[in-house]
Amino acid sequence: MDSETQALHQEFSLKNYAAPPISIVRGAGVHAWDSDGRKYLDFSTGVAVNALGHCHPAWVDAIQKQAASLGHCSNLYANPLQLDLAQRLCGFAGPGEIFFCNSGAEATETLFKLSRLHGQKLSGREAQRHKVVTAKESFHGRTFGGMSATGQDKIKAGFRPLVPGFDHAEFNNLESFRQVVDQGTAAVLVEPILGEGGVRPATAAFLQGLRALCDETGALLLLDEVQTGGGRTGTYFAHEPSGIQADGIAMAKGLGGGFPIGAVWIRDAHANLFQPGSHGSTFGGNPLACAAALAVLQVIEAEGLLQHVHELGAWLIDALRGFSEKFPDLVFGARGLGFLTGLVLNTPVGPVVTACREAGLLTVPAVGDVLRLLPPLNTTQEELESALEILQEVLSGLSG
Ligand SMILES: *Cc1c(COP(=O)(O)O)cnc(C)c1O
């Protein structure tokens, strides 16, 4: 990164993020280039956002055409692209209705507001039954609601008092949730795979057990699929293999393939909890964002990407597991599903992320010294193999 960029960053960028090591200026497919002209295999995908890699022609074309026809119209008026997208998302999630927003945190906020309305309906009084139970290891966003719902303490530090009424139990431990969920609980919210929390998949039995627990108590079962949704795990939603039906689902990251858009699906039975005036978003689901998201869905369908991710993801995780035999001093094993994969390290993840970047592979760290590999959904086997070669080289260098 040149010294001018560094100086500008130092002077004008809020220091809420760690100092960036490079400056990315261009992308095409699975590759990205920095300001020095260095080429990278981009398995950071903007943190599971660039579902089709960089600048997929269909995505670029859809945004260019839509920008030249209608960019924004607010939610005062009907927007056919939004209705098309809503219908398609219900096709994946089940009978329900869709609210559009712009980010993951806004999507989870919407689920918290849904929980309050549901609790009020059950108890007959506002502010009576309002507890939301989430996992201790979870991440649900950086707003006050999101921080309060997030189990990890490092996210909340310095920002108390938080929103009351959130409680936490241990992920993948049904008994722990049973101890916390009670008649005061309005909803349970979990990620089907902990993303920031270390790429830890929920077991099918855990999700099924939560569904039964929510049915017993009347609480809503809500899923945060902000990172796992959009085909990343080889099905459109990561909870699909468990067979459970959720009451609400938050989505965002991969939905627009790099254009900011979030969404919440609410099951039919609960969709009428929101009434005119009770929630909204100025930008939410604007025509440009919906055109981008529709282009992503069309490519997923036309190129058979769910099946592609399902098949190659299993192969990728097997290959990653192989590193624990080759480098037992550095690698414990691998976790994940589809193209949401994590190499579980025996060594601090930071230096491994740096070494990978210096060798031409962009990755993302997660809690517990996990190296996240998040290839675009349309990554080929050859491109995965190139990434594995770089990883092999890096781990060889580090095991010295
Ligand atoms: C990224 C993420 C969020 C927050 O999304 P933003 O768009 O950054 O607000 C919420 N939940 C999960 C599971 C995430 O991975």
Give residue limits of the domains in the chain: 3-56+303-399, 59-302
User: What is the predicted pLDDT for the residue at 133?
Assistant: 98
Quick check: 218 pLDDT over 90?
yes
Per-chain mean pLDDT for the chain: 97
Ligand 1: residue of 50, 108, 110, 194 to mutate (most ligand atoms within 8 A of CB) is 108
Residue 125 Cα to ligand 1 middle (Å): 31
Buried-exposed string 180-189: b where 16+ CB fall within 10 A, e elsewhere: ebeebbbbbb
CB 221 within 8 A of CB 246: yes
Quick check: 84 pLDDT over 80?
yes
Distance CA 141, CA 159 (A): 14
Residue 325 Cα to ligand 1 middle (Å): 33
Residue 227 Cα to ligand 1 middle (Å): 7
What's the pLDDT band for 390 if we cut at 50, 70, 90? very high
Residue 141 Cα to ligand 1 middle (Å): 5
Percentage of the residues of the chain whose pLDDT score is greater than 70: 100
Residue 139 Cα to ligand 1 middle (Å): 7
Query: What confidence tens digit (pLDDT) does each residue in 97-154 have?
Result: 999 999 999 999 999 999 999 999 999 999 999 999 999 999 999 999 999 999 999 9
Strand partners, 344: 333, 370
Please state the separation of Cα 323 from the chain's center in Å. 26
Quick check: 237 pLDDT over 90?
yes
Residue 104 Cα to ligand 1 middle (Å): 4
Distance CA 354, CA 334 (A): 19
Smallest CA-to-CA distance from 78 within 287, 363, 332, 220 is with 287
Ligand 1: residue of 137, 225, 253, 367 to mutate (most ligand atoms within 8 A of CB) is 253
Strand partners, 334: 343
Quick check: 400 pLDDT over 90?
no
CB 250 within 8 A of CB 264: yes
3-state secondary structure of 234: coil
Minimum-distance ligand 1 atom for the alpha carbon of 138? 13
**Mean pLDDT to the nearest integer, 355-360:** 98
**3-56+303-399: CATH number:** 3.90.1150.10
CB 201 within 8 A of CB 337: yes
CB 166 within 8 A of CB 148: yes
Ligand 1: residue of 139, 232, 370 to mutate (most ligand atoms within 8 A of CB) is 139
Q: Letter for the amino acid at 259?
A: F
3-state secondary structure of 280: coil
Quick check: 2 pLDDT over 90?
no
**Mean pLDDT to the nearest integer, 70-85:** 97
Where helices occur in 138-277 by DSSP H, the ranges are 144-149, 153-156, 174-180, 204-217, 268-271
Residue 313 Cα to ligand 1 middle (Å): 22
**Mean pLDDT to the nearest integer, 46-60:** 98
Query: What confidence tens digit (pLDDT) does each residue in 257-270 have?
Result: 999 999 999 999 99
What's the pLDDT band for 361 if we cut at 50, 70, 90? very high
Protein residues with CB under 6 Å of any ligand 1 atom: 103-105, 108, 139-141, 191, 195-196, 224, 226-227, 252-253
**Mean pLDDT to the nearest integer, 307-315:** 98
Residue 342 Cα to ligand 1 middle (Å): 17
Atom 6 (ligand 1) nearest CA: 104
**59-302: CATH number:** 3.40.640.10
User: What is the predicted pLDDT for the residue at 38?
Assistant: 98
Distance CA 367, CA 345 (A): 11
